Structures are given as structure tokens and as C-alpha cells.
Amino acid sequence: MNPIFSLPPYTKEQLTPPHVLAQWLRCLVGKKFQLTGKTRTDGSTLRKLIAETLEKQPLPTPCQESMFKIVPPKGKGVPRILLEYIDTYIVTSGKSYNLQVWNRNPSTHSVQIEYRTGDKLLANEVRFVFVRVHPIAHEIRAVLVLTPNYIVEKFGKFGKPTIKHQLIITDSARQTVLSQSPPILFYPDLEVISPFLTDNCDLSIHSIHDDPSPRLLIKLESISSLVESHLIDTKIDFAATKTRGQVLEEKISHLLGYTSVEQQVLAGKYPDIRHQALEVKIQDSPTVDLGRYSPQFVESVPKCPNFTTESIRYLIALTDNMTGIVKGAIICPGRYLGNHFTFVGSKSFKFQRSIPMSFFEKFDGHSIFNP
């Protein structure tokens, strides 16, 4: 992407009106867009496509770096296409789209960019560009340019922020795990939860979101054996309405003996398989998103009586980022993750707003602003 897009416009008044942006982006409707199923890759590809499209138009003059200041620390929350003050999102399929805005409240007068002149660009002035891509045809069906105020008026306020923690698994740490035989980093359960443990039991009548029960918690040794026999060297495909993490969660649930879990994995609870006090993750890049809870901070876990973030069990599948094949795994209580990997100390947060998929679908073939 052209470096000028990382600079704000020379003045706020130079921003292209949003209805004009929608006109400029009309040429994208009907174009092919190959989805990889990897959120960051697809998001980066979309930003580049939009930037290349905008470059053909009379853009604002970029501001000199000495004439403005990015206010949020480390630039967190600032729009990625700063020259037109745009954030971009890919919409695919499902009953609703969960809009996630990271590190800023999109509907407040929070200063993001401060000019030396005293002028400011605010969080509620960011323009959202939603690009609806058909997940099977891999074709752009619609482009919608929406403002935060429109989203709030149409669909309601953004929810309270969700705190996000991360774990960094470096290439060398990953290779250390993969070089083992079997390629599994394993630690047994903590003694504090031993009253819950069993080698095997019938879980077919239980829900993965039930509270953990005594003698119905499968030992990590048994889970490790299942992973070695039935998960290593298998492929985690991308499903149209699920993330790869949810597909993995479904696989693990079936391996443990649960039935009818297809809709349950979409609930997004913590831990993912609460009945087993088991959090399930995929690692194909150095960063693993831990979500609201991190073993770095010891605290009780709601709806998991007697468990803390240290005793919650983790199953992290190490997948090849090109093929999706599971090459190894990390299976251990949260307490031991820090022995081998790095917790990211700073916290990020996100504001969320659900938008019905039917809203996007009715604009097939169009590029519009605040319909």
C-alpha cells in the first residue's frame, strides 16, 4: 500500500465526502476477491485493493509528519487508511455480522489525530467501508460506506469493550515443540482439580457449555492421546460461517464424545468447551489471541467453580499457515504457558455491534453511503 495512506489529509476539510467515496468504489462490485479464510491476510488484501482504487482519484494532500500528532499510544485504534480516514471490513455469510472496532470507541468524540493548527480528527468521524464478498463465488457483491452515527441510529449502541490478551509463540519456540516425538508440549492437570478428573466417561448427553462436573473432566493425558492419534496430521478447513478456531473446537468436542455441537461452537464462550474447562486455539502465526482472560493474571473463572485462569486447560493446535494441517499441539494448564511463551503485557480492547446479514444482502450490486 502506498505510504501516503498512512498520513492524514493536510486539512480535515480535504477528506473526500463519503457519498463520493461510495461512487469511487462502485467499480469494485462484481470483481473477484479470493478469500483465504485468514482474517489478517484477507483484511490486508482488501485494504490494498481499496487503496489502489482510490489512488486513481483526486485524493487529499498528505500532511507533513511535523504538522500532526497521532494521539493514541502506539497509534492503536487509528484507521489504517488514514489519508481518507477509513477502516475497511469484509462481510461474508451467516445470520449477522459482528462489527469489531479495536482500541477506540467509534461513537465518541475521542481525539485520534491532532493537527498543529488545533484541528482534530475524532473517533466518531471515521468512515467504515464494508465490502460484502460471496464466500463461494469469491466475488464482491456490494460496498457500503457507513458512519458510526448511522450504525448507532440504525442498529443500536456499541457494546462495552471486551479486553483482549495475547500470547506470542516465536518460531524457535514453535520449532522446539514440533521437534519432539510426538510433537506435543504437555503438562498434566494441576492437583487442585484432581477431584474432577477421569480417564473416560460418556459425554454424549452433555453440552460443551455445561459447568464442569466432578468425575466428568477428561484428564489431559487422555486428551493428549486423542490429539496424537486423531488430530495431528489432519487438516483444519475454513468453514463459511465459522472461524478455523471454531472448526477445531467442533473437532475436539466430537473427539471427546459430545454430540450436536455444531451450533454450540458459535456461542463464543470462555473457556470454549466449558464442561471440560478447556480453551481451544489455533496457532499459525506468532500471535495467539487469548481473549478476555489470561493465565498471566490469576482470577476466578465465571461458571467454572473451583477453577482459575491458571487451572483452565489449553489445547493449542500448531497448524501450517499454508495447508492448514495440524503439525503439533500444546496441551497444558494455563499456569505453564508462560514457561515457554510470552504473554503480551499490554491490553487491547474492542467495541462490538451486531448487524443483520440481511441488511448487507439487500444492497447486492450497489455501492452506497448510509442507505
Q: Does residue 290 register a pLDDT over 80?
A: yes
Whole-model pTM over 0.85: no
> 73 vs 32, which has greater pLDDT?
32
pLDDT at residue number 244: 85
Query: Within 31-189, where are the H helices?
Result: 39-54, 148-155, 171-178
Residues with Cβ within 8 Å of 306's Cβ and at least 6 positions away in sequence, in order, are 192, 193, 196, 212
Q: Which residues contact 68 (CB under 8 A, 6 or more apart)?
A: 8, 113, 114, 115, 116
For all residues of the chain together, what is the average pLDDT? Answer: 93
User: What pLDDT score was predicted for residue 240?
Assistant: 59
* Distances from the Cα of 94 to the Cα of 70, 98, 130, 257, 361, angstroms: 36, 10, 15, 27, 11
Phi, psi values for residue 255, rounded to 5°? -60, -35
Q: What is the mean pLDDT of residues 136-145?
A: 97
Q: What are phi and psi of 307, to 5 degrees?
A: -110, 145
- pLDDT, tens digit, 9 for 90 and up, residues 297-307: 899 998 898 99
* pLDDT of amino acid 241: 60
Question: Would you say residue 143 has pLDDT above 90?
Answer: yes
d(CA 180, CA 278): 23
Question: What is the structure's pLDDT at 161?
Answer: 84
**pLDDT tier at 9, thresholds 50, 70, 90:** very high
Mean pLDDT of 320-342: 94
What per-residue confidence (pLDDT) applies to 269? 81
User: What is the arithmetic mean of pLDDT over 114-139?
Assistant: 95
Using pLDDT thresholds of 50, 70 and 90, give the confidence band for residue 162.
confident
Say how far apart CA 252 and CA 223 lie, in whole Å. 9
Domain ranges of the chain: 3-159+352-369, 170-340
